Amino acid sequence: MAMGPEVMVGAGLAAINAVLLTILTVVWLRNYRTFQSTMVLGLAAFGAVLLLENLVAVYFFLSMHMLYASDPLVGQVVLAMRSLEFLAVVFLTYVTVQ
Does 74 have pLDDT greater than 80? Answer: no
What is residue 4's predicted lDDT score, i.e. its pLDDT? 74
- Cα separation, 37 vs 2, in Å, equals 47
Does 69 have pLDDT greater than 70? Answer: no
On average, the pLDDT of the chain sits at 88
Read off φ and ψ for residue 82, nearest 5 degrees. Answer: -65, -35
Does 73 have pLDDT greater than 90? Answer: no
What is residue 70's predicted lDDT score, i.e. its pLDDT? 67
What is the per-residue pLDDT across 42-51, written as a single tens digit (0 to 9) for each? 999 999 999 9
